[in-house]
């Protein structure tokens, strides 16, 4: 038998575990599923009666995504503030202003400490484009109230946020229907 075929015989859990009052999670990488994974955390938090906020930095309120529909019904404070795809924009300065407003709302949600979970969906993009100050985001998360958990999503997450995070998951593309010409499907992709 090879190592892959042998079931573990020892408990892989470290002997010394501690509880943390809150965590910072980052979902990054070129693969699909970053936001989807974050919304799974939202479902867990809602099931535990946690107050939750989601701030989307690129998707606008016109997108009619399934996650937003059900989360709003479950009492999640959902802010789809983005302007959409930048390549469809008529005025990137407007997109930048909207991203700054989204960050203002998100940073207030973090600082207030009223939400046990705050999701910053697709925040890496406006940070990497210089629309939101990376030092401001790092400081807001580092100085958050003790029981405020934060999930950040987006490709190319800046290193200071990866360093700050407790858990970082990199989504890696292996195969995707889009690559063979199949459009995004309601109920699967959004």
Domain range for residue 53?
A: 21-170
Query: Of 38, 37, 33, whose CA–CA distance to 174 is shortest?
Result: 33
How does pLDDT run across 87-100, given as a tens digit for each residue? 565 667 778 888 99
How does pLDDT run across 103-133, given as a tens digit for each residue? 999 999 999 999 999 999 999 999 999 999 9
Percent of the chain with pLDDT over 70: 90
In a domain, 138, yes or no: yes
Locus of tokens 């939202």: 42
How does pLDDT run across 18-36, given as a tens digit for each residue? 899 999 999 999 999 999 9
Backbone angles phi, psi at 48, to 5 degrees: -95, 10
In order, the DSSP letters of 22-69 are --EEEEEESSS-HHHHHHHHHHHHHHTT--EEEEESS-BTTS--HHHH
Q: Give pLDDT, residue 123.
A: 97
Give the number of domains in the chain. 1
Residue 82, pLDDT > 80, answer no
- What are the distances in angstroms from CA 100 to CA 53, 136, 186? 17, 11, 29
- What are the distances in angstroms from CA 9 to CA 1, 3, 6, 12? 14, 12, 9, 9
In a domain, 146, yes or no: yes
- What are the distances in angstroms from CA 23 to CA 19, 38, 144, 167, 186? 10, 13, 10, 8, 31
In a domain, 182, yes or no: no
In a domain, 177, yes or no: no
In a domain, 190, yes or no: no
What confidence category does residue 6 fall into, taking pLDDT thresholds of 50, 70 and 90?
A: confident
């Amino acid at each position: 038998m090879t190592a892959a075929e042998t079931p573990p015989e020892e408990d892989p859990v470290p002997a010394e575990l501690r509880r943390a009052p809150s965590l910072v999670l980052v979902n990054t990488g070129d693969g699909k599923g970053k936001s989807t994974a974050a919304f799974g955390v939202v479902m867990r938090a809602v099931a535990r009666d946690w107050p939750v906020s989601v701030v989307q930095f690129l998707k606008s309120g016109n997108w009619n995504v399934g996650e937003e529909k059900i989360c709003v019904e479950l009492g999640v404070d959902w802010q789809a503030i983005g302007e959409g795809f930048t390549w469809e924009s008529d005025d990137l300065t407007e997109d930048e202003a909207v991203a700054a407003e989204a960050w203002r709302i998100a940073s207030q949600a973090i600082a207030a400490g009223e939400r046990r979970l705050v999701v910053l969906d697709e925040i890496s993009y406006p940070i990497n484009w210089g629309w939101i100050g990376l030092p401001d985001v790092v400081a807001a998360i580092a100085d958050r109230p003790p029981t405020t958990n934060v999930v950040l999503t987006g490709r190319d997450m800046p290193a200071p946020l990866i360093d700050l995070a407790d858990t970082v998951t990199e989504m890696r593309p292996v195969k995707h229907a889009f690559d063979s010409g199949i459009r995004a499907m309601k109920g699967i992709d959004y």
